[in-house]
Amino acid sequence: MKTLDAETKQQILDSIRTIPDFPKPGIQFKDITTLLGDSKAFRLLMDHLEARYSDYTLDYVAGIDARGFIFGAVLADRLGVGFVPVRKKGKLPYTTVSEKYSLEYGFDEVEIHIDAFGHNGCQPDGRSSRVLLIDDLIATGGTAVAASRLIENVGATCVEACFIMELAFLNGREGIQAPVYSVLD
C-alpha cells in the first residue's frame, strides 16, 4: 500500500472534522482528533505510512510539536526506529540546537537535542542518520522548513518530509530541501 487508492483516501479524509471559523473567521480548521478516534481510519493511515517507509532504511522519525508526535511515535514504533521530538523553544532539558522561522506577526523557534540523531548526526558506523520528518499538516511551511533545517544542521539527512494533509495552495513545501509527501491535499 505504497500509494493510496481514492476510496482509502476518502475514508481517511472523511474521518477528519472541519471546524469553520476556528481559530478566527475565515479559517477552515482540520481537526485530526476525529481521525485519531476512528480506529479503522487511523489504522488505514498508519498501515499506509508503514508500507511506504518500510524500505527507506530509516534510523529515526522526527515529529513536529505537537500532533507530529502522535503520528511520528506510532510510525517509529512500527518501523523499529527511534523517535525524536522537534519541540518549541524551551521545552527540552538538554543542550539543544534551534532554528527560527517567521510567523504572520513575528518569529518562533523549534529545537532538538544536539545529539538527537547520534554524535554529529551520525550512526556508530559513521554514516549520516537517515530521518523522516512528519507532521499532521503543512500550510505555509515555516515550522516544517525550520525542522528540516535542524535535521541537516546537526549532520543527519532528512530523506523525506511527510504530512497527513497539505494545503497546497499555500505553497508550504517550497522551502523544504527534502522530497515532500502528503497523504491528502
Whether 164 is in a domain gets the answer yes
- What average pLDDT does the segment 24-33 reach? 93
pLDDT in tens, 124-148: 999 999 999 999 999 999 999 999 9
* Catalytic status, residue 67: yes
Can you give the residue range of the structural domain that contains 131? 56-184
> For residue 7, what pLDDT is reported?
94
Whether 23 is in a domain gets the answer no
Checking if the pLDDT of 152 tops 60, the result is yes
Per the CB < 8 A criterion, the answer to whether 16 and 29 are in contact is no
pLDDT in tens, 97-132: 999 998 767 899 999 999 999 999 999 999 999 999
Own/partner pairs, 100-109, CB within 8 angstroms, 24+ separation: 100/146, 101/142, 101/143, 101/145, 101/146, 102/142, 103/142, 108/142, 108/143, 109/146
> For residue 2, what pLDDT is reported?
77
Place of cell 494545503: 167
> For residue 143, what pLDDT is reported?
96
> For residue 138, what pLDDT is reported?
95
- What average pLDDT does the segment 57-80 reach? 98
Whether 46 is in a domain gets the answer no
> For residue 61, what pLDDT is reported?
98
Q: Which of 43, 52, 87, 104 is catalytic?
A: 104
Domains held by the chain: number: 1
CATH of the domain at 172: 3.40.50.2020
Checking if the pLDDT of 178 tops 60, the result is yes
Instruction: With cut-offs at 50, 70 and 90, classify the pLDDT of residue 91.
Output: very high
Whether 21 is in a domain gets the answer no
Q: Which of 50, 67, 109, 152 is catalytic?
A: 67
Whether 122 is in a domain gets the answer yes
